[in-house]
Amino acid sequence: MPTSNQTSVESQQQLVSDIKSVISDAEEMLSATADQAGEKVANLRARIQTRLRDAKVRLTEAEAVLVAKTKAAAQATDAYVHESPWTAIGVAAGVGLLVGLVVARR
């Protein structure tokens, strides 16, 4: 069963992936409209480029936080397994049994 921290990390990973996709699409749109003339288009392109730079900075910061949380979760798991190896083995066996039952039904 995923913990709250795992769910948070997974949702943050999805968010980072979605933001990267939006940034990529916006950059592609900017490239496609590079030959468009006019003051309105130029102003819009400038605003989009500024927002893309800001989004990239925030994305980098979000990735750093995500990496830190992932490392902390891994360290906590490692510490728990070292403190309670038999409990960890029991939980792993139980999860393995459940996965086996689910796979066997299909």
pLDDT tens for the chain, 106 residues long, are 456 666 766 777 777 777 888 888 788 877 777 777 777 777 777 888 888 888 888 888 888 888 888 888 889 888 888 888 888 888 889 999 999 988 888 7
Residues 44/26, Cβ–Cβ less than 8 Å: no
Distance CA 44, CA 26 (A): 12
R_g of the chain, CA atoms, integer Å: 22
Cβ-count burial 33-60 (b if 16+ within 10 Å, e if not): eeeeeeeeeeeeeeeeeeeeeeeeeebe
Question: Within its chain, how far is the Cα of 11 from the centroid?
Answer: 6
